Structure 1
């Protein structure tokens, strides 16, 4: 077999024990041929694995030396990182009711400014697509109308 070529191994699928006991001599011959091919394939795989292992060993002995980038603070020696003490206030920095609901937390992320951005950018995107593409006559974009904040909230609620 030429180097670099792959050989596919075939496994005989046996559904009953009867197929093993009632096989004819031609089945046995085919099985022996298959066994020899499988043995050759296994030997080829082992040989290729040994070559890869030898290459790995050769490569591991070759260290690549890079220039030190002292301008950006890179060095060859390892140092313990300096741990800066945290002096800020921990926890949420916002006003929430004492009995906050999941929606209160949701509205911390999706405030009115965020809804405005989502609606504005959605409408800009649709307008750019309408202007820059050759739309087919029955394209939904031909009937586009700007999305409102309430419609965007309904869309998010359905997701």
Structure 2
């Protein structure tokens, strides 16, 4: 399985296009139905529910994210809310041959993006931030981990 790792800054052009970091494109291809040999990298973009940023999901990652919906009655309010929250604002797209994606105007506005963006790896997905806000979020995460003296446990147990 691929992981989105690191922070990368790229320019957002006047048309709303941005180059996806090469290492991220590799993971997007690997975790797609077409596989590593794909000519383009498919990605599903959506606004983060928790933060003022855009999330980028692989095809297989987004399918795994939505798989637990099968545990809800299809006609329940909970199912309807989850489906709307996950799929209603999602935008599937592919990189062009130069590795760029076109960010939808509503997502650019939601994340407060201007001429530069920060791609921040988040393991199974990545986030696209306004660079200063991304730096603040990284610092906040480190501070909270340190303050709580959190450590990783062997075997992935929480």
TM value normalised by structure 1:
0.24
- TM-score, structure 2 as length reference: 0.24
Larger Rg: 1
- Tell which has more relative contact order, 1 or 2 (C-alpha 8 A, sep 6+): 2
